[in-house]
Chains A and B, each alone.
Chain A
Amino acid sequence: MKLAAGLCVAVVGASLAASPDRPAVSVNPGDIEKPPVTSWPTFNGDYTGQRFSSLTQISPGNLNQLAVQWVYRITDVGAQRGAPVPIVKCTPLLASGVLYFTIPDHVWALDPRTGKQLWRYDWVDHGGHLIGQRGVAIWNSTLFFLTPDNWLIALDANTGKELWKKNYADARKQYFSTAAPLVVRNHVIVGVGGDAMDMPGFLDSFDPETGDLQWTWWSTPRKGDPALKTWPNEAASEHGGGMTWMPGTYDPGLNLLYWPTGNTNPVFAGQGRPGANLWAESIVALDADTGKLKWYFQVSPHDTHDFDNTTAPILFDRAVEEKPRKLVAQAARNGFFITLDRVTGKHLVVRPYVPLDYSSGLSAEGEPIPIPDKDPSVGGSINIVNASNWPAPAYSPKSGLFYVNAVEGKAIYYLTDNSDKPSGYGGTGAGIGHAVRVLKAIDPLTGNIVWEHAYPNLSEPSTTTGPSILTTASNLVISGDDQKDLVIFAADSGKILWHHELNANESGGIITYQLDGKQYIVFGAGDSLYALSLAP
Chain B
Amino acid sequence: MRYGAWAALLIGSLAHLGVIAATQQPQASTQEGVQPQGNANRSAAERAAATRTFLGLGATPDRAAAARGAPLFARICGFCHGQTARGATGPSLITSDRVLEDDHGEHLSVFLRKGSPDKGMPAFAAMEDKQLTDIAEFLHLQVEEVANRGTYQVLNIVVGNAAKGKIYVETRCMSCHNEKDFAHLASRVRSPEQLQRYWVWPARDGKITADVKTPDGTISGRLEGISDFRVTVVDAAGATRTIDRKPGIDVQIHDSLAAHQKLVKTLANGDMHDVTAYLETLK
Contact = CB atoms under 8 A, between A and B. Distances in A.
Nearest to B86: A421
Interface residues of A, number: 103
A73 B253 CA distance: 38
B28 A429 contact: yes
Most buried by A among B91, B149, B153, B158: B149
6 contacts: A429-B28, A432-B197, A456-B228, A460-B25, A483-B230, A527-B15
A519 interface: no
Contacts of B55: 129, 174, 196
A379 interface: yes
Nearest to B12: A83
User: Shortest 5 CB-CB distances between A and B: which pairs?
Assistant: A433-B264, A429-B34, A431-B36, A435-B36, A526-B15
A202 to B, nearest CB: 15
A87 B15 contact: yes
A409 B36 contact: yes
A457 B27 contact: no
A38 to B, nearest CB: 31
Given A131-B32, A174-B55, 4 more contacts: A196-B55, A379-B159, A421-B82, A433-B265
Contact of B12 (A85, A379, A459): A85
Contacts of A172: 58, 100-101
Interface in A116-133: 127-132
Contact of B226 (A196, A243, A306, A456): A456
Interface string B148-183: 110011111111100000000000000000000000
Interface in A430-467: 430-435, 455-465
B16 A235 contact: no
Which DSSP category, helix, strand, loop or mixed, fits chain A's interface?
loop
Interface of A: 1, 81-85, 87, 127-132, 148, 170-174, 176, 178, 193-199, 235, 239, 243, 245, 262, 305-308, 310, 333, 355, 373-374, 377-382, 385-386, 389-390, 407, 409-419, 421, 423-425, 427-435, 455-465, 481, 483-485, 487, 496, 499, 501, 503-505, 507, 525-527
B273 interface: yes
A424 B146 contact: yes
Interface residues of B, number: 87
A428 B27 contact: yes
B30 A431 contact: no
A131 B149 contact: no
Contacts of B269: 373-374, 377, 379-382
B87 A235 contact: yes
A407 B34 CA distance: 11
Contacts, number: 288
Interface stretch (B3-11, B63-71, B123-131): B3-11
A421 B145 CA distance: 14
B147 A197 contact: yes
Most buried by B among A308, A429, A505: A429
Most buried by B among A174, A382, A431, A435: A431
Contacts of A195: 30-31
A234 to B, nearest CB: 11
B200 interface: yes
Contacts of B256: none
A82 B53 contact: yes
